[in-house]
Amino acid sequence: GDQAIRKAVEFAEDNSDLGWKDLTAFSISEHDVVVGVAASGTTPYVIGAISKAEDLGLVTAGISCNPKSPLSLSTSYPITPVVGPEFVTGSTRMKSGTAQKMVLNMISTCLMIKLGHVKGNKMVDMQLSNKKLVARGIQMICDALGIPEKESRSLLTKYGSVRKAIEG
Residue 94 has pLDDT above 90, yes or no: no
Share of the chain above pLDDT 70, in %: 93
pLDDT at 1: 59
Cα gap 65→84, rounded to integer Å: 8
Residue 14: band (very low, low, confident or very high) from pLDDT cuts 50, 70, 90: confident
71 Cβ contact list (under 8 Å, min separation 6): 36, 38, 41, 42, 43, 46, 47, 50, 62, 64, 78
The yes-or-no verdict on residue 10 having pLDDT over 90 is: no
Question: What local confidence, expressed as pLDDT, does residue 119 receive?
Answer: 87
C-alpha to C-alpha distance for 62 and 16, rounded to whole angstroms? 15
Assess contact for 36 and 62: CB atoms under 8 A: yes
